[in-house]
Structure 1
Amino acid sequence: MRAMTVDVRYCTTEDGVQIAYSRVGEGPPLIRVLGWFTHLEYELNTNMWGGYRKTLAERYTTVVYDGRGSGLSDRDAARISRQGFFKDLQAVIDTTGFDRVALFGISQGGSVAIRYALDNPERVSHLALYGTFARPPMDREEVRTRMSLMRQGWGSDLPAHRQFFTSLFMPDNPTPDDLRAFNELQRISAEPDAAAAIFAASAPDPDLFEQLKDVTTPTLVMHRRGDAIAPFEEGRAIASKIPGARFLALEGSNHTLTASEAGVWETIANAVDELIQPDAAPRKTREPSTFRTVLFTDIVGHTEMMSRLGDEAGRDVLREHERITRDVLKANGGTEVKTMGDGFMASFGSITRAVECAIAFQKAFDEHNRSAQEPLRVRVGLNAGEPIEEDGDLFGATVILAARIAAKADGGEILVSDVVRGLCSGKGFLFADRGDFVAKGFEEPVHLYEISWRG
Structure 2
Amino acid sequence: MTTPEIQFTSTADGVSIAYATTGEGNPLVMTPGWVSHLELIWTRKLGAFNERLAQSHRLIQFDGRGTGLSDRKVDDISVEARLRDLEAVVEELHLDTFALAGMSQWSPVAMLYASRHPEKVSKLLLYAPFCRGFVGDEGDELAQALLGLIRAEWGVGARATMGFVHPDADREHQEASLAHLSKASSGDIAARLLEESMFNVDVCDVLPAQKTPSLVMHRRRDKAIGWENGRRVASLLPNVKFVPLEGDHHLPEDGDSEAVLRAIEDFLGVETPSTDTQAAAAATSYADAPVTLLFTDIEGSTTLTERLGDAKAQELLRDHNDIVRQALSARGGSEVKHTGDGIMASFPSASGALEAAIAMQRSLAKRNEEQPDEAIHVRIGLNSGEPVREGDDLFGTSVQLARRICDKAVPGQILASNVVRELVAGKGFLFADLGETAMRGFEDPIRVYEVRWSE
Find the partner of 2:212 among 213, 217, 231: 217
Deviation, 1:205, is: 6.6
1:170 is matched with 166
Deviation, 1:211, is: 2.9
Larger radius of gyration: 2
1:75 counterpart letter in structure 2: R
Secondary structure of residue in 1 paired with 2:248: coil
- Give the Cα separation in 2 of the matches to 1:5 and 1:120: 30
Contact 1:222–1:250 at 8 Å: present in 2 too?
Answer: yes
Find the partner of 1:231 among 218, 223, 226: 226
2:17 is matched with 19
1:120 counterpart letter in structure 2: H
Whether 1:273 and 2:268 are equivalent positions in the alignment is no
Whether 1:197 and 2:187 are equivalent positions in the alignment is no
Task: Please list, as runs of the form range in 1=range in 2, the aligned pairs for 1:154-165 lying within 5 A after superposition.
Answer: 154=154, 156=155, 160-165=156-161
1:116 counterpart letter in structure 2: Y
- Give the Cα separation in 1 of the matches to 2:101 and 2:62: 12
2:291 is matched with none
Cα deviation digits, residues 338-379 of structure 1 (max 9, x gap): xxxxxxxxxxxxxxxxxxxxxxxxxxxxxxxxxxxxxxxxxx
> Structure 1: 5+ residue runs without aligned partners?
288-442, 444-455
Whether 1:247 and 2:242 are equivalent positions in the alignment is yes
1:20 counterpart letter in structure 2: A
Residues 30 and 120 (structure 1), Cα distance of their counterparts in 2 relative to 1, 3 Å cut: same
Contact 1:35–1:202 at 8 Å: present in 2 too?
Answer: no
Secondary structure of residue in 2 paired with 1:248: strand
Task: Please list, as runs of the form range in 1=range in 2, the aligned pairs for 1:371-382 lying within 5 A after superposition.
Answer: none
Secondary structure of residue in 2 paired with 1:249: strand
- Give the Cα separation in 2 of the matches to 1:258 and 1:240: 25
Cα deviation digits, residues 211-244 of structure 1 (max 9, x gap): 3211111000000010011111221221122112
1:322 is matched with none
1:70 is matched with 67
- Give the Cα separation in 1 of the matches to 2:83 and 2:253: 28
Greater Cα shift, 83-92 or 162-171:
162-171
TM-score (norm 1): 0.57
- Give the Cα separation in 2 of the matches to 1:193 and 1:206: 18
Whether 1:282 and 2:275 are equivalent positions in the alignment is no
Deviation, 1:142, is: 4.4
Find the partner of 1:30 among 16, 28, 31: 28
2:144 is matched with 144
Deviation, 1:169, is: 0.7
Residues 102 and 141 (structure 1), Cα distance of their counterparts in 2 relative to 1, 3 Å cut: same
1:5 is matched with 3
- Give the Cα separation in 1 of the matches to 2:253 and 2:213: 28
1:369 is matched with none
Residues 212 and 286 (structure 1), Cα distance of their counterparts in 2 relative to 1, 3 Å cut: closer
Deviation, 1:275, is: 2.0
- Give the Cα separation in 2 of the matches to 1:82 and 1:141: 24
Contact 1:151–1:192 at 8 Å: present in 2 too?
Answer: yes
Whether 1:82 and 2:79 are equivalent positions in the alignment is yes
Residues 148 and 205 (structure 1), Cα distance of their counterparts in 2 relative to 1, 3 Å cut: closer
- Give the Cα separation in 2 of the matches to 1:206 and 1:184: 28
Aligned residue pair count: 275
Find the partner of 2:113 among 116, 119, 135: 116
- Give the Cα separation in 2 of the matches to 1:95 and 1:206: 27
- Give the Cα separation in 1 of the matches to 2:81 and 2:229: 25
Deviation, 1:161, is: 4.0
Contact 1:35–1:67 at 8 Å: present in 2 too?
Answer: no
Deviation, 1:198, is: 1.8
Contact 1:30–1:103 at 8 Å: present in 2 too?
Answer: yes
TM-score (norm 2): 0.57
1:273 counterpart letter in structure 2: E
Residues 234 and 201 (structure 1), Cα distance of their counterparts in 2 relative to 1, 3 Å cut: closer
Contact 2:134–2:199 at 8 Å: present in 1 too?
Answer: no
Residues 61 and 204 (structure 1), Cα distance of their counterparts in 2 relative to 1, 3 Å cut: farther
Greater Cα shift, 193-202 or 91-100:
193-202
Deviation, 1:200, is: 2.5
Same amino acid, percent of matched pairs = 33
Contact 2:212–2:239 at 8 Å: present in 1 too?
Answer: no
Residues 282 and 75 (structure 1), Cα distance of their counterparts in 2 relative to 1, 3 Å cut: same
Contact 1:135–1:208 at 8 Å: present in 2 too?
Answer: yes
Question: What is the root-mean-square deviation in Å for CA atoms of aligned residues?
Answer: 2.3
